[in-house]
Structure 1
Amino acid sequence: MSSTHRHTPGCACGIDVHAHVIPHDLPRYLGNAVPAAWPSMAPAHACHRHVMIAGKVYRTVSERAWSPSRRIEDMAPMGLAVQAISPMPELLSYWMEPQAASQLLRYMNEQIAEMAALSGGRLVGMGAVPLQDVDVALAELEYVNDKLGFKAIEVGSNVNGKPVGAPEFAPFFAACAEKNVAVFVHALKPTGVERLVGPEKLLPALAYPTDVGLAAASVLTSNLIGRHPDLKMAFSHGGGTLLSLLPRLEQARQVFPALRDAMPVSPSEQARKLFYDTLVFDAPTLRHLADRFGASQLMIGTDYPFAFHDARPVDSVIAAIDDPRVRAQLVTDNAARFLGIDAGASPIQA
């Protein structure tokens, strides 16, 4: 059955590239001095548990965060056949010593692999690496790709303040391109938090898209995607502010010779080689994304299982896109290409 025919209202055929995992338990630190930010889990109410970081409750989560069966129950009403699962970004732990972070992320990667193995093909693993040390990150990349079979990883929008386009990370992304491992960039510890006026919950609403936009821009201005045209790199939250920044960057390249030298390929052309999720909560914005970046580059993203997520992602695409062939790209086909899976082999067919 063709993917175009599958993608109709009410289908359960979508592929979600932006969904997070928190295990029921986190490991004890195996070294001598426990890092101050080493996370742990503590009982909460009913089927919930607290994520504890530095002795404080960072987030309270339900069994949806760790239970494959509970997660799969929720996927049908969301219109999803497959979900790529990655760690809650705070667990990426770039602020720890590399060996400590490596221990935690090895545990996370193996937990994700176990969840995927129990899911009957409904969950696809997306790993994590301690990118604060490129050599250690390369070793973990080899493990998750060669041993666990993961075809994608999640990285933060910045690593201790350095955006993903910074030159020190270039060898890592070169290895991702060589191994054909896709990279999903998620907002993490964003810049500009001190400029927010209001409750803490403004962080994901305003600061996350700002940091993601700057991260995506750094990939363009560093010519990373130009040097590695086979690198599959996606950005959460619709690429954040990049949509608005891109015309200014394009004009600046025409005005300033130094920018033209730094970007041999125009930023607009480069941006159409990146991928973006659909998590923008607005049909006109999603249509604009498809027009500016190309319908071939957009994929469903939900931010499940957290409160600030898109509970009806397929319906969101349908509301924004009239052409069934373009809907098919956004709902299933682009994500299948990004993740390296067979769109026609989805466990659920409409």
Structure 2
Amino acid sequence: MIGTLADGPIDVHAHWLPPELFDLPPGAPYGPLHDRDGELHLGDVPLSIPARAMSDVPAILDDMAAAGIGVRVLSAPPFAFPVAGPAAPYVDAFNDALARVVSGSGGALAGLGLVSLDAAGTATEQLRRLAAVPGIAGVAVPPVLAGASLDRGVLRHVLGVAAAEGLSVLVHPMQLPRPEWRDHYLANLVGNPVETATAVAALLLGGVVEQLPDLRICFVHGGGCAPGLLGRWDHGWRTRADVRRDSSRPPGESVRSLWFDTVTHDPALLGLLTAKAGKQAVVCGSDHPFDMAQRDPVGFAEAAGLDAATLAANARAFLGVPA
């Protein structure tokens, strides 16, 4: 439930995790996090991130001021998603801590909570609780889970409850490992965009946007590969019955009901996204505090022809906040 937000540009894609939850959910494939002399490590892998940038609210507010951000929407880093089994206590602890942080921010911070991904009933209860928490706009979820995406299983259930409860959904990739991506950071550079495009395709071709017209959902990193693939998806939809089996509109039409952030690292790709999805679909994102973050998100977006007022209005629409 989002009330009054501070004025200025809104960054919908930024991460926060308190130190007491650095152990990560049970069975987390990469964890736990460690603060080693002020630097974050995921297991034994250095993240090149100061620990305070992830968990210290004054440091986050300082970064916002330096970047010209008026409001930052905080969500858990993707390695804190509970993808390995029951994790309700961890999820509840994160949501409670997030609620405390945003409530004391004077409208400068908002939050997207976590939800259990092992049981639909537990997820429903958590989502209904989040809907009543001041400053919490919705939830962040992974794009794929246990061999499925947003059109089936627990993820599809979460989308249905979120739409019914008026909660926004942010979809963030998990950087899942594959043998062919083990070098050169390809699990991120290639894997993240592919995960996100898979989820966009599942949502559009699976007919989910038609089934849930009230769903407010945003894909980070500019939708990954999706903007460049929409033409291919449309061609497949028109020529193959199995592609259009679950949807009544081609993806190139349905995509205009989604939101995407600006973290594309390429003005030309941001221009393609805007052309395909519409200017109303683009919201400002930073991916703070990761190494792949857009350090000047407002300047980057404006250089690509997107004005700050439009971006802020789009973010408020995604978050369900009246202009």
Decide: shared fold, TM above 0.5.
yes
Residues 1:334 and 2:314 aligned together: yes
Matched residue SS, 1:229: coil
What is the DSSP-based 3-state SS (H/G/I as helix, E as strand, rest coil) of the residue aligned with 2:116? coil
Note closer, same or farther for the CA distance 1:162–1:257 as it changes in structure 2 (3 Å cut): closer
Query: Which of residues 217, 222, 240 in structure 2 aligns to 1:256?
Result: 240
Task: Report the Cα distance in structure 2 between the residues aligned to 1:27 and 1:247, rounded to whole angstroms.
Answer: 42
Query: In the alignment, is residue 175 of structure 1 matched against residue 164 of structure 2?
Result: no
Distance (Å, rounded) in 2 between the aligned partners of 1:36 and 1:317: 38
Q: 1:260 to 1:157 in 2, by over 3 A?
A: closer
Which structure would you say has the larger Rg? 1
Corresponding residue to 1:146 among 113, 116, 132: 132
CA deviation vs aligned residue, 1:153-198 (integer Å, no higher than 9, x gap): 100011123212225543321211111101000001437x323263
CA contact (8 A) 1:128 1:153 kept: yes
Correspondence 1:290-305 to 2 at 5 A: 290-305=274-289
Aligned to 1:15: 10
Q: Does 1:137 align with 2:129?
A: no
Matching residue of 1:44? 36
Structure 1 alignment gaps of length 5 or more: 1-11, 344-350
1:209-248 equivalences under 5 Å are 209-248=193-232
Aligned-pair distance for 1:261?
A: 3.3
Q: Per the alignment, do residues 286 and 154 of structure 1 end up closer, same or farther by CA in structure 2, a change over 3 Å counting?
A: same
Deviation at residue 146 of structure 1 after TM alignment? 2.0
For each residue in 1:53-87, what CA deviation from the matched residue of structure 2 results, as whole angstroms up to 9, or x when unmatched?
xxx45746421211111111111221210000000
Identity of aligned residues (%): 26
Residues 14, 80 of structure 1: 8 Å contact kept = yes
SS of the residue corresponding to residue 71 of structure 2 reads strand
SS at match of 1:13: coil
Give the alignment's Cα RMSD to 1 decimal.
2.3
- Determine helix, strand or coil for the equivalent of 1:252: helix
Code of the residue aligned with 2:180 in structure 1: it is: R
Counterparts of residues 97-176 of structure 1 (less than 5 Å): 97-98=85-86, 101-147=87-133, 150-176=136-162
- Report how many residues are paired: 315
Range with greater deviation from structure 2 (84-93 or 139-148): 139-148
1:112 CA displacement: 1.2
The CA deviation string for residues 253-290 of structure 1, in whole angstroms up to 9 with x for no partner, is: 11112333322122111111111011001111111111
Structure 2 length-normalised TM:
0.90
- Partner of 1:162: helix, strand, or coil? coil
Partner of 1:310: 294
CA distance in 2, matches of 1:290, 1:75: 25
Q: Distance in 2 between matches of 1:69 and 1:118?
A: 12
Alignment partner of 2:233: what SS? helix
Gaps of 5+ in 2: 1-6
2:281 pairs with 1:281: no
Cα drift, residue 212 of structure 1: 0.3
- The aligned counterpart of 2:4 is none
Q: Secondary structure at the match of 2:317?
A: helix
Instruction: Specify the SS of the correspondent of 1:263.
Output: coil
Contact 1:113–1:148, Cα closer than 8 Å, also in 2: yes
Name the residue aligned to 1:194: 179
Distance 1:107 1:321 in 2: 41
Local SS of the residue matching 1:210: helix
Letter in 1 for 2:114: A
TM-score (norm 1): 0.83
